[in-house]
Amino acid sequence: MRTPERNPRTAKGPAAAKRPATPANARAPREIKGLSDDIDDDDDDFGDDGEGERDSLTDVPGGARLQKVMAEAGIGSRRYCEELIGEGRVEVDGEIVRRFGARVDPEYQVIRVDGRRIPAKAGLAYLAFNKPPKVLTAMSDPRGRKTVADFLGDRSQRLFHIGRLDYDTEGLMLLTNDGELAHRLAHPSFEVAKTYLADVAGQVPRDLGRRLMAGVELDDGVATADGFRVIDRSGQRALVEITLHEGRKHVVRRMLAAAGNPVTRLVRTDVGPIKLGNLKPGTSRSLSTREIGELYAAVGL
Ligand code: URA
């Protein structure tokens, strides 16, 4: 297996505004817990407004306690969230808040833990779906073909897919009802990288990666790969991995065909920081709080 080639012209990382990973005055970094399986039922008034240091954040009248919002977003128990607050690791609208009782409005305020935004708004859903081949990227089809909605049950009514995969392409598709995130992820200006595994026909020449990364002329303009590697070769076929942040229709198939190695099977394995992993075809999973934070960061939210 060859080490991946990286395109120095396009390897510039996410368009995200870089945020400090950890506030300077925080304790040694610790992992944020994943999901909210240990949220306790403490009374909303647990913790006192007077505790901790003051800050200039204005309490939102009728707002929810910060630690409660954090716990509901999947950070961990309220006690754990209070520890994070006490350690100065929580920001509301850009300001570090060390009070346990701060009242916030998760609909409008941006809350970050260790610099990473948390999905605080109620009712938002984020799914990773492994699209099988011969499934249309749509929520319905007048011609009666199978669509993504057929695999999502009731959830399909409130979710929309981010970007598209061809009818025959398999792999990772993200779905959400978070309009702003979806808009940014689908927009080429945010340059979220996507990685594909492609079975290709023909012998792969040694310079294929270099040519793809230099840019391949297509009928709607040049398309450029960010990364490329050959994973396996056998006779007249090969398995290759290609990374690019292009969103044009059939772009991977067209690039490889133009380079002389047409695709016989295509699977998307990564969208920005999210990985397909071992999700079975036709199944979906909820993204973790950490993954959602990474997606926000990838598009500068
Ligand atoms: N490129 C393609 O050719 N097909 C897809 O589905 C996605 C990217």
Dump pLDDT digits (tens) for 33-92: 443 333 333 444 434 444 455 677 888 999 999 999 999 999 999 999 999 999 999 999
What the chain holds in terms of domains, given with CATH numbers, is 20-114 (3.10.290.10), 126-298 (3.30.2350.10)
Ligand 1 atom nearest to CA at 169: 6
Average pLDDT for 269-287: 97
* 165 Cα: distance to centroid of ligand 1 (angstroms): 6
Distance CA 294, CA 193 (A): 13
Catalytic residue check, 166: yes
* 246 Cα: distance to centroid of ligand 1 (angstroms): 10
Report yes or no: 164 and 180 within 8 Å, Cβ to Cβ.
Answer: no
Average pLDDT for 29-36: 40
What pLDDT sits at residue 157? 72
What pLDDT sits at residue 53? 58
Ligand 1 atom nearest to CA at 166: 6
Q: What is the rounded radius of gyration, in angstroms, for the C-alpha atoms of the chain?
A: 22
Average pLDDT for 211-221: 97
* 102 Cα: distance to centroid of ligand 1 (angstroms): 47
Average pLDDT for 129-142: 96
Average pLDDT for 226-237: 95
What pLDDT sits at residue 56? 75
List the residue whose alpha carbon is closest to atom 2 of ligand 1: 250
Ligand 1 atom nearest to CA at 246: 8
**Which comes out higher in pLDDT, residue 53 or 182?**
182
Q: Choosing from 166, 178, 226, 270, which is the catalytic residue?
A: 166
What pLDDT sits at residue 3? 59
* 130 Cα: distance to centroid of ligand 1 (angstroms): 14
Ligand 1 atom nearest to CA at 268: 7
What pLDDT sits at residue 27? 39
pLDDT higher than 50, residue 107: yes
> What percentage of the chain has pLDDT greater than the value 70?
83
With a Cβ cut-off of 6 Å, ligand 1 is lined by 165-166, 169, 250-253, 266
pTM of the model: 0.81
Q: How confident is the model at residue 188 (pLDDT cuts 50, 70, 90)?
A: confident
List the residue whose alpha carbon is closest to atom 4 of ligand 1: 250
